[in-house]
Amino acid sequence: MKILIRFIIVSFAPLLLSGCYKIKGHYGGPKSFEPQTRALQPTDVALPAGYTIEPVNSGLNYPTGITFDEQGTPYITEAGYAYGEIWLPPKLLRLNPDGTSTQVAVGDKNGPWTGAAYHDGFFYVSEGGELEGGRILKISKAGQITRLVENLPSMGDHHTDAPVIGQDGYLYFGQGTATNSAIVGTDNYHYGWLKRNPTFHDIPCQDIVLTGQNFTTYNPLTEDDKDEVTTGAYLPFGTPSTPNQTVKGTIPCSGAVFRVSLQGGPLELVAWGLRNPYGLAFAQNGQLYVTDNGYDTRGSRPGYGAGDVLWAVQPGKWYGWPDFANGQPMASDDYKTPHDDPKFLLAKHPGTPPKPAAILGVHSSSNGLDFSRNAGFGHVGEAFIAQFGDMTPEVGHTYGPVGFKVVRVNPANGVVEDFATNKTKINGPASILKNGGLERPIAVKFNPAGTALYVVDFGIMPMTEQGPAPKQKTGVVWRITKTGAR
């Protein structure tokens, strides 16, 4: 109990003492992963006039992504591993018209499988790699699995993220960071991985020079209540840094977008300085966009008020992590908490971060995205983004639930508008609102014709006093269409 109690105190203290935050009650009951009955009622989801929504598959185990073959048949990934330290075999499933699913392939317990792309008879699946490191898997329609990429640094907070295939014949994917803000700390023990991999840490994509800022915490890896350790940026837990220390960069690295040929070959760095580049999609003009999850208010170096971001990916660009948020320096009043003042970790920055295409909700967990390309559906050229929803109190605190919906974004001006939300006076997941609407949208994808938007809903995941408790068999795939669309 020592570890859990200390984590909660660290997480709550800055906000309780500030006197200006409403502490959101978001605790569920005991930490249980047992299947739970979920009501599904499309009329509980608010949509713009002319659009309708329907569930097409349900009873899924932690679905994370969706793709389509040449015939327009949908396939989904089930994660296997989920926050809360639950371990199931990840799966690739074909969704059948009668609402059932057929297993195409199953992996070992090296999930989460975070998404899939399809091209020319093969599925390309991102394997998050919580136990053995991330991989990109190539899977035939008969279910044969080969490894296109492996040994990715994904055994921490964030994983190898969902792939997308470009017109250039390359597969693009994101690789998340090990930590919240480059410092391994007690929050990572609470997440489970520090105990499994006590030497794991973030890896820069090129050589960096540190300021020498260090952080001292108690040591959860020992039984001694008085044992403390000091940790520096991009270093293992308990390893301090020194001023002007150089940390060597290498590929693969943390917090980056990569590409690899569909035939295999060397891994190529596209962009870096991202925290958790979860969703990737190409707009009609060929521009690649990525959603990037912002800093949490947790750990040794918490960041306050950093929204999630939609970036237009510029090859070779550095996007600011761990010293910038939303393109602005973390070392400013905008991102400090009442008791923590983030300072720069890097003595020299690899560049100047660009301006975001859009800034999304703080703690909204804005993940999978796709672009509308059919005038019959509407909003051509706009990005539709699935917002998984906040994980308070572990990530910080909010005035009320954030996310749990699908938004659309105009990348030309950054305007964000709700598209699919639960029909209630307050925001939140259906299980808390006691209705039959959306829980945790994690991915969206248009069918090949662009006439229907499929929404992957991860399922019910309450936050208990012991952490996330995702409920099995509560995942859903929804389909949104517009009257008269062809």
The alpha carbons of the chain give a radius of gyration, in whole angstroms, of: 21
**Contact (CB, 8 A) for 193 and 221:** no
Q: Give the contacts of 266 (CB within 8 A, at least 6 positions apart).
A: 260
**pLDDT digits 0-9 by tens, 33-48:** 888 889 999 999 999 9
pLDDT recorded at residue 334: 78
In whole angstroms, what is the distance from residue 274 CA to residue 256 CA?
Answer: 6
Work out the average pLDDT over 429-446. Answer: 96
Domain 2-482, CATH homologous superfamily name and number: TolB, C-terminal domain (2.120.10.30)
Look at residue 25 and tell me whether its pLDDT is greater than 70: no
Would you give the distance in Å from CA 447 to the centre of its chain?
A: 22
Element containing residue 12 per DSSP (H, E): helix 2-18
Work out the average pLDDT over 229-246. Answer: 98
**Contact (CB, 8 A) for 274 and 259:** no
Percent of the chain clearing pLDDT 70 (strictly above)? 91
Residue 83 banded pLDDT, cuts 50, 70, 90: confident
**Contact (CB, 8 A) for 437 and 404:** no
pTM: 0.92
DSSP 363-427: T--EEEEEE---TTT--TTPEEEEE----TTTT---SS----EEEEEETTTTEEEEEEEESSSS-
In whole angstroms, what is the distance from residue 275 CA to residue 178 CA?
Answer: 9
**pLDDT digits 0-9 by tens, 309-341:** 999 999 999 999 999 999 999 888 877 766 677
Other beta carbons within 10 angstroms of residue 249's beta carbon come to: 16
pLDDT recorded at residue 41: 97
Query: How many CA atoms within 13 Å lie on the side-chain side of 165?
Result: 18
C-alpha pair distances (Å), 324 with each of 201, 261, 318, 328: 19, 31, 10, 5
Residue 303 banded pLDDT, cuts 50, 70, 90: confident
In whole angstroms, what is the distance from residue 178 CA to residue 129 CA?
Answer: 12
Q: What is the DSSP-derived secondary structure letter of residue 486?
A: -
Of 92, 94, 133, the C-alpha closest to 115 is 92
**pLDDT digits 0-9 by tens, 146-158:** 999 999 999 999 9
Number of H helices, E strands in the chain: 4, 33
**pLDDT digits 0-9 by tens, 247-278:** 999 999 999 999 999 999 999 999 999 999 99
pLDDT recorded at residue 486: 57
pLDDT recorded at residue 399: 66
**Residue 55, φ and ψ in degrees, nearest 5:** -80, 135
| Four-point Cα dihedral 385, 389, 395, 398, nearest 10 | 110
Work out the average pLDDT over 373-379. Answer: 97
DSSP 190-254: HHTHHHH-TT-----SS-EEB---EEEEE-TTSS-TT-EEEEETTS-TT----TT-EE---SS-S
